Amino acid sequence: MSRSKAYVASVGLTPIGDHWGKSILDLAVDAASGALKGLGKERPDQIIVGNMFSAVGARQEHLGSMLASALGMAGTTAYKVEAACSSGGSAFNVGYNLVRSGAIDSALVVGVEKMRDIEPDEVSAALAMAESAEYTQFVGATFAALNGLLARYYMEQLNVTRDELSSIPVIDHTNAVTAAHAQFRKAITSDVVSRSAMIADPLRLFDCAPVGDGAAAALIVNDNAIPGSRRKLVEVLGGKIATNDFSLYERTDMLDFKASKDAFKGAMTQAGLAPGKLSFVEVHDAFSVVGALSLEAMGFSKRGEGSRDAKAGKYGRDGDLPINTFGGLKARGHPVGATGMYQIAESYLQLTDQAGKNQVEGAKYSATQNIGGVDSTSAVNVFGRGA
């Protein structure tokens, strides 16, 4: 097939946190409006919303048409893409494939989630919808519980220490201090993580991403829909959504994040890029252990060494491969269906030198990795500076 190149022309995002005064639609409009500034024509060909649980969080479905109308773009093709916490990265991948293949010339992709309107003790139940209602939810296994089991197994099988596990949250919090849109802009030490309140043994409060509201958006264009200036284009070099055996209990090796492995390999192959070329990576660390296993699945660390490498400085801002440059899921925040789009918006800011105090100097290539469930789905997208 003949393929056009695809670019991110502009992005928009809201701060993450408690948006009591805004509806889920308000948040989506805010992020979309920012991303539409790069549009070279009246409206995008499609509007794609990434969202996990607006039905439970806002008693609202049909966000696609609703957003199109709210943006004054009634008529435009619009729909929602859902893949649990990987809804954002997956929605982007759908838009990217449609634009790159020339099926359409432009797509506005908006990730949005309103979590704080759910009663606090219902959030875990809402998130648990990413796992089987009949098998996993049924026995009361929340995601904190599942990842607690995973962390215990990881630490025992591969001799990972509590102190090592605390290293990725420390990186996140360090990077978030200067990130205007981050939920928690406060640096912490690994002691703070290791001694924080127990949530699901061995996972503690600071091992776990917080609950928050937010929306992030990107405008994808091909050469037929390039805006006026090519100066601020970031090329989308590759992308892939992959899945794993759905539930943890179905897997022969719980520590093998096969979806992330396959998605990363597929996206990098499409990009024609060696992993060593990446300037930074946005990693889906919903829990510290998930961050470590993700780094191992993508091949940046050897098995069992994701946290250890983090502790040794490899993934810090001055390390070999900076991760989570605005704070990652732990400190920037994790409004689930929006998270993948935050990773992409942050990549765009980095690759156009608009990352301010969080700038990775000379950043040229990046990858974003966005997981649904415990690696039941993984969406990886790869970006490159300039056009």
Phi and psi at residue 293, to the nearest 5°: -65, -30
Side-chain-facing half-sphere of 133: CA atoms under 13 Å: 2
Residue in 85, 173, 181, 284 annotated catalytic: 85
Looking at 169, 377, 382, 384, which residue binds its own copies (CB under 8 A)? Answer: 377
Contact between residue 107 and residue 220 where contact means Cβ atoms under 8 Å apart: yes
Phi and psi at residue 364, to the nearest 5°: -120, -40
Binding piece for its own copies, criterion CB under 8 A, among 60-68, 185-193, 195-203, 359-367: 60-68
334 binds its own copies (CB under 8 A): no
Pairing of strands 106-113, 46-50: parallel
223 binds its own copies (CB under 8 A): no
Binding piece for its own copies, criterion CB under 8 A, among 29-37, 79-87, 292-300, 355-363: 79-87
Looking at 10, 14, 90, 324, which residue binds its own copies (CB under 8 A)? Answer: 90
For this structure, is 334 an active site residue?
Answer: yes
**Tokens representing 46?**
């499609």
Looking at 33, 37, 41, 74, which residue binds its own copies (CB under 8 A)? Answer: 74
131 binds its own copies (CB under 8 A): yes
Q: Compute, in degrees rounded to 10, the torsion defined by CA atoms 221, 222, 224, 227.
A: 40
Contact map string, positions 5 to 44, toward its own copies, x by CB under 8 A? ------------------x-x-------------------
240 binds its own copies (CB under 8 A): yes
Looking at 9, 34, 80, 165, which residue binds its own copies (CB under 8 A)? Answer: 80
Closest separation between CB of residue 101 and its own copies, Å? 4
3-class DSSP string for 346-367:
HHHHHHCCCCHHHCCCCCCEEE
Q: Which of 84, 216 has the CB closer to its own copies? A: 84
124 binds its own copies (CB under 8 A): no
How many CB atoms are closer than 10 A to CB 191?
11
Binding piece for its own copies, criterion CB under 8 A, among 63-71, 187-195, 286-294, 354-362: 63-71
DSSP 120-181: HHHHHHHHGGGS-TTTTGGGT--HHHHHHHHHHHHHHHHT--HHHHTHHHHHHHHHHTT-TT
- Reduced to 3 states (helix: H, G, I; strand: E, B; else coil), residue 31 is helix
For this structure, is 85 an active site residue?
Answer: yes
Contacts of 352 (CB under 8 A, 6+ apart): 232, 234, 385
119 binds its own copies (CB under 8 A): no
- Reduced to 3 states (helix: H, G, I; strand: E, B; else coil), residue 236 is strand
242 binds its own copies (CB under 8 A): yes
Residues facing residue 214 across a β-bridge: 113
Chain contacts with its own copies (rule: CB under 8 A):
1-2, 4, 23, 25, 52-53, 55-56, 58-66, 68-70, 74-84, 87, 90, 94, 97-98, 100-104, 125, 129-134, 137, 240-247, 250, 258-259, 262, 372-373, 376-377
Q: Which of the residues are catalytic? A: 85, 334
